[in-house]
Amino acid sequence: MTKIATWNVNSLNVRLEHVIDWVKIHNPDILCLQETKQTNDKFSHEAFDSIGYKSYHNGQKTYNGVAIISNKELQNVGSDIPGFSDPQKRIIHGLYPSRSLGLIHVVSAYVPNGQSLDSEKFKYKVSWLEAFNTWVKSSYGKSDHHILTGDFNIAPRDIDCHDPEAWKGNILVSQIERDLFDAIIDIGFDDSFRVLNKDIQKFSWWDYRMAGFRRNLGMRIDHILTSHSLKENLTTAYIDEDPRKLERPSDHTPVITEFR
């Protein structure tokens, strides 16, 4: 069994203890992190070494930053979308050598937020996702399996939003973003949570404001997309709400998928 998880930690400076505690309890094979908000020299490889994990980080000050924590050494680690020049640190990826499944290409992605549909940041989100799609399409099939994880900042369907009527015309739920998400799926991926939980409404993020978590005003915007090659191997997919209940939590919580 292989367990892979993704978690937007909203600053690893603040959340390192939560992450280490979570890894010790859940023992994932791979944990992908987003929004580390720290430069590579601040990233504590030692903290992960001490619990038996390799760690790979692509970060910057204040914003963005992504990492992969792995119980096996990754091969061919990269930290960009080839051909897409971007000063924002939103990608880290590598090959995970699975004993029984071969090489799994694992991506930890922090997709731009977009701010609002009429903003320059939304144009950046669209062009970023188009470049991401082109890259994923060109690399598809070059490894035995592919897993795209991260904070996609897209709620794929109305069921993934606590109040689709109130959010209509907003970022995270717009048809433009959902079409871009579906275009990635169409390359040959499954939304592993949705495949294994057909009609269940679960969220991975809740606004800090308005007592969002207590009132369950959430969205499912963090995803683990698995290549069709893994579809028959998928066993379990779930969202662990417990870290969101801790003191000083991230506004996101871990999303987990397991496969044989």
Partner DNA sequence: ATGGCGACGCAACGTCGA
| Residue among 3, 121, 157, 178 that touches DNA (CB under 7 A) | 121
| Residue among 6, 8, 58, 108 that touches DNA (CB under 7 A) | 8
Show the binding pattern over residues 135-174: x = contacts DNA (CB under 7 A), - = does not. Answer: ----------------x-x---------x--xx--xxx--
Question: Measured between alpha carbons, how far is 254 from 224 in angstroms, rounded to an integer?
Answer: 11
Question: Measured between alpha carbons, how far is 174 from 110 in angstroms, rounded to an integer?
Answer: 18
| Residue among 82, 142, 208, 242 that touches DNA (CB under 7 A) | 208
Does position 186 interact with DNA (CB under 7 A)? The reply is: no
Check if 151 is active-site.
yes
Does position 255 interact with DNA (CB under 7 A)? The reply is: no
**Residue reference for tokens 């970023």:** 128
Residue 29 neighbours by CB under 8 Å, 6+ apart: 2, 3, 4, 70, 71, 72, 96
| Residue among 25, 51, 195, 210 that touches DNA (CB under 7 A) | 210
Task: List interacting residues with DNA (CB under 7 A).
Answer: 8, 10-11, 13-14, 35, 37-38, 61-63, 112-116, 121, 151, 153, 163, 166-167, 170-172, 205, 207-210, 217, 219, 221, 248, 251
Give the residue numbers marked as catalytic. 110, 151, 252
